[in-house]
Amino acid sequence: MSLSAPIFLKEREEDNSKFVEIQQSQTTCIAAEDPLQNLCLASQEVLKKAQQNGRSKCLKCGGSRMFYCYTCYVPVENVPVEQIPHVKLPLKIDIIKHPNETDGKSTAVHAKLLAPEFVNIYTYPCIPEYEEKDHEVALVFPGPKSVSVKDISFHLQKKSQNSVRGKNDDLDNPSIKRKKTEEQDLNDSKCKDTTLKKIVFIDSTWNQTNKIFTDERLQGLLQVELKTRKTCFWRHQKGKPDTFLSTIEAIYYFLVDYHTDILKEKYKGQYDNLLFFYSFMHQLIKNAKCPEDKETRKLTH
């Protein structure tokens, strides 16, 4: 049975309206859920060419890799090192990698490739000694004792003062000349610059982090928790919320917050190139996994 003209036109208008709403919703979702789209990145043309040419040889170990060698931490032959960005960081970064973390799936290597002088990667149980420098090192890890990025300087200063006070007490316990009131300590800490010189990250699945986090060599470090952000990682861990970041995302977001909250400077994309490889791989996988929306197809046919 055919529809009358008014009914047909009304349904057509509803379909068109619904189609517009879907398009607007998709655009809004893309903007909200894809923070990688507005990054200030170096040209990724070298990666596009490498992707088209396929795997290439690592000049160190001879292994066949795509883009970079994840065991030697160097770009492969068809990705000249001078054509990838070099990122200068405001502090040193140590990454403690779980031994069961698959090298080829880890994003920690991106930081080492793009900021080689500032980043070191250690495979657990190998962990540097931080005991004598725990007043200038912090660990990014969530927990009840974690502090925000903006409070790092204050807590490290307190740790340093407590350490000095403890040493003085050991040398001359009866002395009261060296003692300060808590208020004086707080005022002194505000007058001094941040003492943070190194930040530590754990590279592991969340189910495996406990083994590294509970290691006694990390127990004296100040814990820092990042602001809540959604991951763009394509290897999402089953059963975990989308606020669990990949290692390179955690490094990037920490540095952005450090730049604005500690250095008190306007962020202008200084560390965006840390996501040079990550954003390119994300886009490749996104394009491969982006079938046309069924509802959109139905309304446009």
pLDDT, tens digit (0-9, with 9 covering 90-100), for 186-225: 444 444 444 799 999 999 988 889 899 999 999 999 999 9
Could you give the number of structural domains in the chain? Answer: 2
Same domain assignment for residues 131 and 238: yes
169 in any annotated domain: no
Residue 230's pLDDT is 82
CA 90/CA 87 separation, integer angstroms: 10
282 in any annotated domain: yes
Residue 161's pLDDT is 78
Same domain assignment for residues 241 and 95: yes
Residue 299's pLDDT is 33
132 in any annotated domain: yes
From first CA to last CA, the distance across the chain in angstroms is 21
pLDDT, tens digit (0-9, with 9 covering 90-100), for 42-88: 999 999 999 999 999 999 999 999 999 999 999 999 999 999 999 99
User: Residue 143: which region, alpha, beta or left (left: phi > 0; alpha: psi -120 to 50)?
Assistant: left
What range defines the domain where residue 101 resides?
A: 86-160+193-287
Same domain assignment for residues 80 and 198: no
Same domain assignment for residues 276 and 250: yes
Same domain assignment for residues 217 and 80: no
Residue 72's pLDDT is 97
Question: For residue 140, which phi and psi values (nearest 5 degrees)?
Answer: -85, 110
Same domain assignment for residues 126 and 269: yes
Neighbours of 90 (CB within 10 A): 17
Residue 285's pLDDT is 87
Residues of the chain with confidence (pLDDT) below 70: 1-33, 163-194, 234-242, 290-301
Same domain assignment for residues 75 and 224: no
16 in any annotated domain: no
Same domain assignment for residues 244 and 120: yes
